[in-house]
Amino acid sequence: MDLLQFLAFLFVLLLSGTGATGTLRTSLDPSLEIYKKMFEVKRREQLLALKNLAQLNDIHQQYKILDVMLKGLFKVLEDSRTVLTAADVLPDGPFPQDEKLKDAFSHVVENTAFFGDVVLRFPRIVHYYFDHNSNWNLLIRWGISFCNQTGVFDQGPHSPILSLMAQELGISEKDSDFQNPFKIDRTEAGVQWCDPGSPQSPPPGFEILLPQPPE
């Protein structure tokens, strides 16, 4: 898969919502429960995309891809926030029934979770861009707060992602036992420096040319 194909695949992930449909009635919000199942499918697609990205083993390609992807992700997040706030959609309220609002809701939940995956797997690259962009900081703070109130992340394998992301980004105070489960120490002898997610600096004499951070 070349760079353009990979970017196209990522944008499909960013822009394709999983709005729930259905008419069943239970004590829980039926539409939200349906959405949670569809969310699980979307999460598997997102994690597969990141696995493929990690396997590129080309730091320059990874920077290029993540640069474009992060800009697209935060554009989707900002547009979706505008739609939801204009319609007074509450994260802990009934699941939206309007198609436009469903899409905006799912875009916020899925892209916030996806950004968390990227942060934890490529912290060095993400910090390089994120730490220079106050608008992104405000957007992801809003996204995390919104997601925490939806009930989507209350249980299951994805429940830790919001807290881990917030701690990695410095949005919330790190727990005494906090550890990014995806950080890999590449400083051991005999291991080539190729992991952009490592928090360590490159070995002496090894220079990585980086693109400029976003405006």
Across all residues in the chain, what is the average pLDDT? Answer: 80
85 vs 77, 78, 82, 146, CA distance in Å? 12, 11, 5, 11
pLDDT of residue 18: 58
Residue 14 lies in a domain: no
Question: What is the C-alpha to C-alpha distance for residues 105 and 89, in angstroms, rounded to an integer?
Answer: 9
Q: For 22-67, how does the pLDDT look when each residue is reduced to its tens digit (9 = 90+)?
A: 333 234 789 999 999 999 999 999 999 999 998 888 888 889 999 9
Q: For 101-132, how does the pLDDT look when each residue is reduced to its tens digit (9 = 90+)?
A: 999 999 999 999 999 999 999 999 999 999 99
The pair of structure tokens assigned to 23 is: 């008419």
- Tell me the helix, strand and coil percentages in the chain, rounded to 5: 55, 0, 45
CA 104 to chain centre: 15
Residue 41 lies in a domain: yes
Q: DSSP class of residue 178?
A: -
The pair of structure tokens assigned to 6 is: 């990979």
Structurally, how many domains does the chain consist of? 1
Q: Which residues contact 118 (CB under 8 A, 6 or more apart)?
A: 50, 66, 69, 70, 126
Which domain range does residue 53 map to? 30-215
Residue 5 lies in a domain: no
Residue 12 lies in a domain: no
pLDDT of residue 13: 58
pLDDT of residue 215: 45
Sorting pLDDT into bands at 50, 70 and 90, what band is 180? confident
pLDDT of residue 10: 55
Residue 108 lies in a domain: yes
Q: Which residue has the higher pLDDT, 91 or 156?
A: 91
